[in-house]
Amino acid sequence: MKCSLVQMNSIDDKAKNIAMARALIEQAVAEDRPDWVLLPETFDWAGGTSAQRLAAAEIVPGGPAYLMCQEMARTHRIFVHAGSINERVEGENKVYNTSVVFDRDGRQIALYRKIHLFDVTTPDGVEFKESKHVKAGDAVVTYDCEGVTIGAAICYDLRFPELFQALATKGAQVIALPAAFTMQTGKDHWEVLVRARAIETETYLAAAGQCGAYTQGNAQRQTYGHSMIVDPWGLVVARASDGPGVVTSRIDPRKVQQVRAQIPVHQHRRLPFGA
Domain count, the chain: 1
The string of pLDDT tens digits covering residues 102-149 is: 999 999 999 999 999 998 887 777 788 899 999 999 999 999 999 999
CATH number at residue 46: 3.60.110.10
Residue 227 lies in a domain: yes
Containing structural domain, residue 182: 2-268
Residue 235 within any structural domain of the chain: yes
Judge whether 274 lies within some domain.
Answer: no
275 assigned to some structural domain: no
Strands 142-145 and 148-152: antiparallel
pLDDT(264) > 70 = yes
Taking residues 53-64, report their average pLDDT.
95
pLDDT of residue 84: 97
pTM: 0.95
Indicate the helix (H) or strand (E) that contains 27.
helix 14-32
Active-site entry in 3, 114, 202, 255: 114
C-alpha distance from residue 168 to each of 131, 149, 165, 182, 274 (Å): 27, 9, 5, 27, 15
Query: pLDDT tens digits for 88-102?
Result: 999 999 999 999 999
Residue 113 belongs to some domain of the structure = yes
**Among this protein's residues, is 41 annotated catalytic?**
yes
Question: How confident is the model at residue 275, as a pLDDT?
Answer: 44
Task: Give a yes or no: residue 195 inside a domain.
Answer: yes
Q: Among residues 3, 14, 41, 255, which one is catalytic? A: 41
Read off the pLDDT band of 273 (50, 70, 90). low
Question: DSSP per residue over 254-268, as a string?
Answer: HHHHHHHHHS-HHHH
Q: Out of 3, 69, 155, 211, pick the active-site residue.
A: 155
Radius of gyration of the chain (CA): 17
Q: What percent of the chain has pLDDT over 90?
A: 88
Taking alpha carbons only, the member of 162, 268, 249 closest to residue 205 is 249
Helix (H, G, I), strand (E, B) or coil at 246: strand
Kindly state whether residue 99 falls inside one of the protein's structural domains. Answer: yes
Q: What is the pLDDT of residues 9-49, one digit of tens each?
A: 999 999 999 999 999 999 999 999 999 999 999 999 999 98
Residue 217 pLDDT: 80
Q: Measuring CA to CA, which residue among 215, 183, 178, 186 is closest to residue 46?
A: 215
Residue 221 lies in a domain: yes
Q: What is the pLDDT of residues 233-245, one digit of tens each?
A: 999 999 999 999 9
Report which of residues 125 and 208 the model is more confident about. Answer: 208
Beta-strand (E) ranges in the chain? Answer: 2-7, 36-38, 79-81, 85-88, 95-102, 108-113, 119-121, 127-129, 142-145, 148-152, 174-179, 204-209, 211-216, 219-224, 228-230, 236-239, 245-250
Give the pLDDT band (50/70/90) at residue 152: very high
Residue 54: pLDDT above 50?
Answer: yes
The answer to whether the CB of 208 falls within 8 A of the CB of 227 is: yes
